[in-house]
């Protein structure tokens, strides 16, 4: 993208309405604009990040054997009455009426809908287990939407739903998702801690939240220092081996974490080294057994011919929240520091003298080689403004092209995370980045 003709409205001044770093930086870097309380438009740079995160989530869900589908945002109230949640959900649910006076709602989650779809087509235990997911917008009419996309009213969630014949099978599905989650967060450049959780209105009795550590996180978190080692990830565990998954789960739940230091004093007794930090919840998984399958009449023929209600789980990741969470975990005074895996562009090309024939030609040839993976700052701005915007936008690499170097085919390569700048021939810079 050429910055001169792009909608990347960066701001020098600090937006007064934003209380936390990620919200300020998302507005200042031109990623989003608020269109109503807790509702955001994703501008081109922001959408590229959201898409990159969604893609990593998708790849890890697929690797764990989950099938992608897409369910609608608008749901019928009738469906939610069959589970009893239409009345139970409360004012967080956005209720609508169509022209015939029928009650509809904008989905806050999809347990009922997937149960209904599954019920109409799956008849035998031989078709189990299955796991289905989608990445779709949700609406929750939060009392206090705040912190930008971290607590929005409309937000993008990946939600997956597992169906197993029995409890033992459901536990394997649950552990498989936990492994997929840890790999997902690792690829996003985040340290995540699975923390046993209350399951709340979604229901069930086996539930974990995934908390990522960020100094400005919403809640305090106390955790075993063992979580800081990420060496349990790698390829040491397979999604296909129940024994591996059991070992992995034991490792994950063998260390303790809680948002309340006083909670469960006994559990802390075994913790060698207790750490204290701040955290942001980026995912939440639940096993809830037959909570939906039974009242909604989902049953399959079991091995002995008798019908059984499948055991279910649901697994959420806050895809749009992750954009803010990653920034909370990775920024400095100058701006965002995108991990390579989710950056909107791999590099920015900074033309320090737009209009100079040598600089322009070198930048154009570089830009062409990146095939869409670079943002070209071709604006008629002074160098200082380009440096500031590139730091603010957080591109992992900056390729700085000035008239003196360009004359001899030299550019400067800056790594945003370390601030290190090295002068090198243009081909060497390309070889390093492509």
| Contacts with ligand 5CA, residue ranges (CB under 6 A) | 109, 140, 142, 151-152, 155, 157, 159, 202, 281-284, 286, 314-316, 318, 320-321
What is the nearest approach in angstroms of ligand 5CA to the Cβ of residue 201? 8
CB of 288 to ligand 5CA, least distance (A): 9
HSE, side-chain direction, 13 A CA sphere, residue 346 = 13
Nearer to ligand 5CA, 319 or 430 (CB): 319
Q: Which is nearer to ligand 5CA, 318 or 396 (CB)?
A: 318
Q: Which is closer to ligand 5CA, CB of 113 or CB of 202?
A: 202
C-alpha 255/C-alpha 244 separation (Å) is 18
Report in angstroms how near the CB of residue 395 gets to ligand 5CA at its nearest.
25
The residue count of the chain comes to: 434
Sign of CA dihedral 86, 92, 61, 344: positive
Minimum CB–partner distance for residue 62 and ligand 5CA (Å): 17
Smallest gap from Cβ 387 to ligand 5CA, in A, equals 33
Nearer to ligand 5CA by Cβ, of 159 and 378: the residue is 159
Token pair of 45 as six digits: 């740079």
**CA separation for the pair 249, 251 (Å, rounded):** 5
Min dist. Cβ of residue 325 to ligand 5CA (A)? 8
Which residues lie closer than 8 Å to 119 by C-beta, 6 or more apart? 293, 296, 297, 298
Report in angstroms how near the CB of residue 206 gets to ligand 5CA at its nearest.
Answer: 13
Structure tokens belonging to residue 290: 């037959």
335 sits in which H/E element: strand 335-336
By C-beta, is 22 or 351 nearer to ligand 5CA? 22
Residue with Cβ nearer ligand 5CA (109 or 115)? 109
Query: Would you state the torsion angle of the CA atoms of residues 388, 9, 401, 375, taken in this order, to the nearest 10 degrees?
Result: 130
Closest CA to 426 of 378, 370, 371: 370
Residue 97: C-alpha distances to residues 94, 101, 105, 215 (Å): 10, 5, 8, 43
The residue ranges of DSSP E strands in 62-129, in sequence order, are 67-68, 74-76, 94-97, 103-106
CB nearer ligand 5CA, residue 157 or residue 426: 157
Residue nearest to ligand 5CA (CB): 318
DSSP letter at 184 equals H
């Amino acid at each position: 993208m050429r910055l001169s003709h792009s909608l990347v409205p960066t701001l020098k001044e600090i937006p007064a309405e934003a209380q936390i770093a990620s919200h300020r930086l998302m507005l200042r870097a031109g990623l989003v604009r608020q269109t109503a309380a807790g509702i955001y438009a994703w501008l081109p740079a922001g959408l590229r990040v959201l898409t990159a995160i969604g893609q990593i989530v998708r790849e890890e869900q697929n690797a764990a054997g989950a099938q992608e589908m897409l369910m609608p945002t608008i749901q019928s109230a009738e469906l939610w009455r069959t589970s009893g949640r239409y009345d139970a959900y409360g004012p967080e649910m956005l209720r609508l009426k169509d022209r015939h006076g029928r009650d509809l709602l904008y989905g806050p989650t999809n347990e009922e809908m997937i149960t209904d779809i599954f019920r109409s087509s799956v008849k035998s235990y031989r078709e189990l287990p299955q796991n289905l997911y989608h990445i779709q917008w949700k609406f929750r009419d939060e009392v206090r939407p705040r912190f930008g996309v971290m607590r929005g009213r409309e937000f993008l969630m990946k939600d997956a739903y597992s169906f197993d014949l029995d409890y033992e099978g459901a536990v394997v599905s649950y552990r498989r998702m936990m492994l997929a989650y840890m790999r997902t967060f690792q690829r996003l450049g985040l340290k995540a801690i699975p923390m046993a959780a209350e399951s709340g209105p979604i229901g069930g009795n086996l539930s974990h939240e995934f908390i990522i550590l960020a100094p400005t996180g919403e809640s305090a978190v106390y955790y075993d220092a063992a979580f800081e080692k990420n060496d349990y990830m790698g390829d040491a565990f397979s999604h296909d081996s129940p024994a591996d998954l059991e070992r992995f789960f034991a490792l994950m739940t063998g260390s303790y974490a809680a948002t309340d230091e006083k909670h469960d004093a006994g559990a802390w007794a075994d913790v060698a080294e207790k750490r204290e930090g701040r955290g942001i919840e980026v995912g939440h998984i639940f096993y809830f057994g037959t909570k939906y399958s039974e009242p909604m009449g989902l049953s399959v023929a079991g091995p002995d011919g008798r019908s059984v209600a499948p055991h279910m789980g649901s697994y959420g990741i806050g895809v749009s929240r992750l954009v803010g969470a990653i920034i909370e975990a990775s920024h400095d005074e100058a701006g965002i520091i995108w991990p390579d895996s989710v950056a909107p562009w791999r590099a920015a090309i900074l033309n320090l003298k737009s209009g100079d024939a040598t600089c322009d030609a070198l930048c154009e040839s570089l830009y062409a080689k990146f095939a869409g993976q670079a943002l070209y700052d071709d604006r008629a701005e002074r160098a200082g403004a380009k440096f500031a915007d590139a730091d603010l936008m957080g591109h992992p690499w900056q390729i700085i092209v000035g008239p003196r170097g360009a004359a001899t085919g030299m550019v400067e390569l800056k790594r945003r995370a370390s601030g290190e700048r090295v002068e090198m021939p243009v081909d060497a810079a390309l070889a390093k980045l492509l």
